[in-house]
Structure 1
Amino acid sequence: MTKETEPRPSGGAEGTEATNEGDFGFDPAARLAERDQQGLRRTLQPVEHVAARSRMASDPGGEKPRYGAEQIVFAANNYLGLTQDERVVRAAREAAEAVGTGAGASRLVTGDTGLHRGLERDLADAKGTERALLFSSGYAANVGTIGALDPDVVFSDALNHASIIDGCRLSDAETVVYDHCDADSLAAAMADRSRSSTPDDSWLIVTDSVFSMDGDVAPLADICDVAERYGAWVMVDEAHATGLYDGGGIVQREGLSDRVHVQMGTLSKALASQGGYVAGSTALVEQLANAARSFVFSTGLTPPAVGAAREALRIAREEKRHEQLWDRVSRLRSGLEALGYDVLGTTQILPVVIGDRSDAVALAERLRERGIVAPAIRPPTVPEGTSRIRVSPMATHTEADIDRCLDAFEAAGQELDLL
Structure 2
Amino acid sequence: MEDRGFDLENRLATLEENELKRTLSPVDRVAERGYFAQPCGSELPVLDSEEALVFASNNYLGLTDDQRVQNAARRAAATVGTGSGASRLVTGDTMVHRDVERLLAETKGAERALTFSSGYAANVGTITALEPDVIFSDELNHASLVDGCRLADCETVTYDHCDPDSLRAEMAARAQRAEASTDSRSGSKATPDGETESWLIVTDSVFSMDGTVAPLSEICDLAEEFGAWVMVDEAHATGLYVDGGGVVQAEGLEDRIHVQMGTLSKALASQGGYVAGSDDLIACLVNEARSFGFSTGLAPPAAAAASEALHLARHSDARERLWENVTHLRDGLETMGWDVPGESQILPIVVGDRRDALALEAALRDRNVVAPAIRPPTVPDGECRLRIAPMATHDQADVVACLEAIRAASEEVGLL
Name the CA distance, whole Å, in 2 between partners of 1:236 and 1:172: 20
Name stretches of at least 5 consecutive residues in structure 1 with no aligned partner: 1-19
Q: TM-score, normalised by structure 2?
A: 0.95
Structure 1 residues 189-211: Cα deviation after superposition (integer angstroms, max 9, x where no partner): 00000122234100000000000
Is the deviation greater in 22-31 or in 266-275?
A: 22-31
1:402-413 pair list within 5 angstroms: 402-413=399-410
Is the deviation greater in 335-344 or in 174-183?
A: 335-344
* 1:87 counterpart SS class: helix
The alignment status of 1:157 with 2:157, answered yes or no, reads no
- Report the counterpart of residue 186 of structure 2 in structure 1: none
Name the CA distance, whole Å, in 2 between partners of 1:25 and 1:379: 26
- Report the counterpart of residue 238 of structure 1 in structure 2: 234
- Report the counterpart of residue 381 of structure 1 in structure 2: 378
- Runs of 4+ deviating beyond 3 Å: none
1:26/1:383 Cα in 2 relative to 1: closer, same or farther (>3 Å)? closer
Aligned partner letter, 1:59: P
* 1:132 counterpart SS class: strand
- Report the counterpart of residue 19 of structure 2 in structure 1: 39
Q: Which has the larger radius of gyration?
A: 1
* 2:244 counterpart SS class: coil
Structure 1 residues 209-238: Cα deviation after superposition (integer angstroms, max 9, x where no partner): 000000010000000000000110000000
Aligned partner letter, 1:56: F
The alignment status of 1:366 with 2:347, answered yes or no, reads no
Name the CA distance, whole Å, in 2 between partners of 1:180 and 1:140: 24
Q: Give 1:31 deviation, angstroms.
A: 1.3
Name the CA distance, whole Å, in 1 between partners of 2:356 and 2:10: 27
Within the candidate set 109, 117, 125, 1:128 is matched to: 109
Is the deviation greater in 24-33 or in 143-152?
A: 24-33
The alignment status of 1:326 with 2:357, answered yes or no, reads no
Name the CA distance, whole Å, in 2 between partners of 1:365 and 1:417: 13
Q: Give 1:120 deviation, angstroms.
A: 0.4
The alignment status of 1:192 with 2:173, answered yes or no, reads yes
- Report the counterpart of residue 4 of structure 2 in structure 1: 24
Name the CA distance, whole Å, in 2 between partners of 1:416 and 1:97: 51
Aligned partner letter, 1:349: I
The alignment status of 1:224 with 2:224, answered yes or no, reads no
Q: Give 1:379 deviation, angstroms.
A: 3.0
Q: Decide whether the 8 Å contact of 2:23 with 2:40 is kept in 1.
A: no
Name the CA distance, whole Å, in 2 between partners of 1:277 and 1:32: 35
Q: Give 1:309 deviation, angstroms.
A: 0.3
Structure 1 residues 64-104: Cα deviation after superposition (integer angstroms, max 9, x where no partner): 11111110000100000000000000000000011000000
Structure 1 residues 223-261: Cα deviation after superposition (integer angstroms, max 9, x where no partner): 000000011000000000000012100000000000000
Aligned partner letter, 2:219: I
1:5-20 pair list within 5 angstroms: 20=1
Aligned partner letter, 1:120: E
- Report the counterpart of residue 254 of structure 2 in structure 1: 257
Name stretches of at least 5 consecutive residues in structure 2 with no aligned partner: 179-188, 191-195
Q: Give 1:380 deviation, angstroms.
A: 3.2
Name the CA distance, whole Å, in 2 between partners of 1:138 and 1:383: 23
Within the candidate set 384, 391, 409, 1:394 is matched to: 391
The alignment status of 1:83 with 2:64, answered yes or no, reads yes
Q: Give 1:111 deviation, angstroms.
A: 0.4
Structure 1 residues 250-273: Cα deviation after superposition (integer angstroms, max 9, x where no partner): 000000000000000000000000
1:304-315 pair list within 5 angstroms: 304-315=301-312
Q: TM-score, normalised by structure 1?
A: 0.94
Identity %: 65
Q: Give 1:416 deviation, angstroms.
A: 1.6
